[in-house]
Amino acid sequence: MPKRTPTPTRQTVTLDGVELQLAHPDEFTPHWVGQEELVKQLAAAWLVVDEADLPLNPRLIGKPGVGKTSLAYATARALGREVYLFQATMDTRPEDLIVTPVISDNQRIKYVASPVVTAMLRGGVCIVDEGNRMGEKCWASLAPLLDARRYVESIVAGIKIKAHADFRFCATMNEDASTFDLPEYIHSRLQPQIVVDFPEADEELRILRDNLPFADEDVLRYVVEFLQRAHHSDEPFTVRDGINVARYALKLMRGNGAHALAAYRQSLAMVLGQDVMGFSE
């Protein structure tokens, strides 16, 4: 898939006489370090190899905090694409995914395109984050987008919206109990399945350094040792937890003059709870 430099975002677009206000692309610094094979797998899923071919709609699976969203964002930005993030929740409604009517300042109805629809129209990448927190009705509204039809329909605006040829889609899925099972017809549309696992110790240390370049090296090594022990014991703690522990430990060192080891232990107990202290030795 060739790289494409994003153009300035258009604020509105008109389809079949209906004006849609577009969302803004999401912009943050992606911290994806190591595990380059995952980047290659995701980029390959989005690749189009022939005029008759279509991009796939991968789903990234793993425990909360392993970096699924960062992986998708960093891959999309490396390909020069605008990125639109939609945060799914159990309260998400089908219209939230497509077009929402709102009352404007002049008391008239205006239509606001979701991040999904904006990415479709702009030829960007849409990441539906924690997609298995949405119910079946929400996924049903996206079903025609995720197959060869590549469109969605807005009942409230009365329009059908076709996806730009450059539009790409992926969903992240958390492995925990507070999620819905995907209906089979959606499961088959969200392929391939890319598993994002815990990084190795050297990669975890690089991730911490990349996120906290100002950090004390001893604190980072204490955190990595804790995380690796937790991973081997099948505990759910991730590098996101490690970043929070390290960040607070650094503040304790700066604010209270605490030694690195004492600050790390205090931070670990306060961020993750006293129960984790057995993994800190």
Q: How far is CA 206 from the centre of its chain?
A: 20
- Distances from the Cα of 24 to the Cα of 60, 100, 112, 213, 276, angstroms: 24, 15, 11, 29, 40
Indicate the pTM of the whole model: 0.84
pLDDT digits (tens, 9 = 90+) for 67-92: 899 999 999 999 999 999 999 999 99
**Torsion, Cα of 36, 37, 38, 42 (10° steps):** 110
Domain spanning 12-195 has what CATH number? 3.40.50.300
Of 177-181, 187-191, 253-257, minimum mean pLDDT range: 177-181
Residue 30 has pLDDT above 80, yes or no: no
Q: How confident is the model at residue 178 (pLDDT cuts 50, 70, 90)?
A: low
Stretch 3-26: mean pLDDT: 77
pLDDT digits (tens, 9 = 90+) for 233-255: 888 898 889 999 999 999 999 98
DSSP for the chain? Answer: ----PPPPPPSEEEETTEEEEPPPPP-------S-HHHHHHHHHHH---STT------EEEESTTSSHHHHHHHHHHHTT--EEEEE--TT--GGGGSEEEEE-TTS-EEEEE-HHHHHHHHT-EEEEETGGGS-HHHHHHHGGGGSTT-EEEETTTTEEEEPPTT-EEEEEEE-SSSSPPPPHHHHTTS-SEEE--PPPHHHHHHHHHHH-TTS-HHHHHHHHHHHHHHHHTT----HHHHHHHHHHHHHHHHHH---HHHHHHHHHHHHH-GGGGGG--
Stretch 180-205: mean pLDDT: 91
Q: How confident is the model at residue 175 (pLDDT cuts 50, 70, 90)?
A: confident
pLDDT digits (tens, 9 = 90+) for 111-166: 999 999 999 999 999 999 999 999 999 999 999 999 999 999 999 899 999 999 99
Of 55-59, 97-101, 256-260, minimum mean pLDDT range: 256-260
Q: How confident is the model at residue 5 (pLDDT cuts 50, 70, 90)?
A: very low
**Torsion, Cα of 75, 210, 86, 6 (10° steps):** -50
Residue 167 has pLDDT above 60, yes or no: yes
Query: What does pLDDT average to over the chain?
Result: 89
Give the pairing type, strands 193-195 and 59-62. Answer: parallel
Beta carbons within 10 angstroms of residue 265's beta carbon: 20
**What residues does each domain of the chain span?**
12-195, 201-279
The C-alpha atoms of residue 192 and residue 74 are separated, in whole angstroms, by 18
pLDDT digits (tens, 9 = 90+) for 260-276: 999 999 999 999 998 88
Q: Do 20 and 113 touch, CB atoms closer than 8 A? A: yes
Beta carbons within 10 angstroms of residue 232's beta carbon: 10
